[in-house]
Structure 1
Amino acid sequence: MLLLPGWLDSGPTHWQSRWEALHGDRRVVQADWVWPRRGDWMARLDEVLLDEPAPVALVAHSLGCLLVAAWAAHSRHTARVRAALLVAPPDIEREDAPPQIATWRPVPRGPLPFPSRVVVSSDDPYAARPRAQALADAWGSGVVDVGPRGHLNGDSGLGDWPEGRRLLDALLAAAGG
């Protein structure tokens, strides 16, 4: 599993950090978490992906979801991905989006070339449910709404988030392994 944190990385109470410790998943570490550059993040994902035995699963949170979409639209290595779990994709096209992520616009909306599932919260402050649904539809992803849980991050109190791990396992089983 390759963990793709969002803007500012995932802190110690974030489920991604806990999965890294519990399951040995590998975090894709970016050079700049504060002022992320889409092209740099895409190149880093390619680099890490090619260092892993294929195939891999991508487990993205927030801006990491948009990384998957942008990367998939340009990379020649998408066949190395079994599936992608995309948790809490943000709406960065809102007027109040932070200027640090402005270079990520527009959000790629092409279908992903591998099975994917988008996990949303009904009260995510960074993406209204209809916007998250529209992204999932554009990417050809199924959607799972886990109810009112905020941005599905460390502040959401998810702990080890076993529900998320079950969603990942189900996605991988449906993808054939």
Structure 2
Amino acid sequence: MKVAEADILIVPGYGDSGDGHWQTRWEQRLSTARRVEQADWNNPVLDHWTARIVREVSVATRPVVFIAHSLGVPSVLHALPRLGPNIAGAFFVAPPDLSDASRMPEGLTAFGPYPTERLPFPAITIASRNDPYCAFETAERLTESWGSLLIDAGESGHLNTESGHGPWPEGTMVFAEFLSRLQAPLLH
């Protein structure tokens, strides 16, 4: 699949992805990408966040590919039962551990627990071994249940601007390879 053949939905996490964040840079470079805007990035409510995702998928004119970071990952997963068959794939980065309140800002564990059903489309999950919001072993367990390919990012923090991942060229290469292998879903 090529960029022009997909609606690429950028799904940031808590606090949004600022100007220097790789998600913002990718949104600016990928011609069919758009951000799933949330009404309140700093006081997330699961039902509101998933409703925005459902709305964005409903207006998509091409197969959808998600690029979700942090709290965006569980938001996408919780929206799945309401999305229909138009999802071609998902690129998940740094999913947080929603079961560990000591790792999460207050109130964000309400986005858990994660759905653990096998995903009906291809997915890649990139996780770091020193992400302050998720132990690598938790990311391994989650991605195995989803049937997602797990990519070990080594000691890369939360894979955000604060951990030095503004441009993130390695992520760009992995996403380009992932996208090239996707096929449009069969719609019935």
What is the TM-score of this pair, normalised by structure 2?
Answer: 0.87
1:35 aligns with 2:35: no
93, 101, 107: which one aligns with 1:87: 93
Task: Provide structure 1 residue ranges, at least 5 long, that are not aligned to the other structure.
Answer: none
Supply the AA of the counterpart residue of 2:20.
Answer: T
Aligned counterpart in structure 2 of residue 20 of structure 1, from 3, 27, 35: 27
Over aligned residue pairs, what C-alpha RMSD do you find? Answer: 1.4
Aligned to 1:114, which of 91, 113, 121? Answer: 121
3-state secondary structure, aligned to 2:107: helix
Matched, 1:172 2:179: yes
- Aligned residue in 1 for 2:112: 105
CA contact (8 A) 1:69 1:110 kept: no
Residues 1:128 and 2:158 aligned together = no
Distance 1:157 1:76 in 2: 33
Q: How many residues align?
A: 175
Q: Which residue identity lines up with residue 28 of structure 1 in the other structure?
A: V
Identity of aligned residues (%): 39
Equivalent-residue separation in structure 2 for 1:95 and 1:42 (angstroms): 21
1:155 Cα deviation from its structure 2 partner: 0.9
- How far off is 1:105 after superposition? 2.1
Would the aligned equivalents of 2:57 and 2:83 in 1 still touch at CA under 8 Å?
no
Could you tell me which of 134, 137, 146 is aligned with 2:153?
A: 146
Measure how far apart 1:161 and its partner are. 1.7
- Residues of 1 paired with 2:52 and 2:44: CA distance? 12
Query: Amino acid of the residue matched to residue 63 of structure 2?
Result: P
Distance 1:22 1:90 in 2: 26
- CA–CA separation in structure 2 for the residues paired with 1:76 and 1:16: 22
SS of equivalent residue, structure 1 residue 112: coil
Following the alignment from structure 1 to structure 2, what is the Cα–Cα distance between the partners of residues 93 and 124? 15
Whichever residue aligns with residue 71 of structure 1, its letter is A
Looking at structure 2, the residues matched to 100 and 148 of structure 1 have their Cα atoms a distance apart, in angstroms, of 27
Report Cα offsets for 1:38-72 as digits up to 9, x if no partner.
Answer: 11111111111121212021000001111121111
| TM-score (normalised: structure 1) | 0.92
Q: Which has the larger share of helix?
A: 1
Does structure 2 retain, via aligned residues, the 8 Å contact 1:109–1:138?
Answer: yes
Deviation at 1:76, TM superposition (A): 4.1
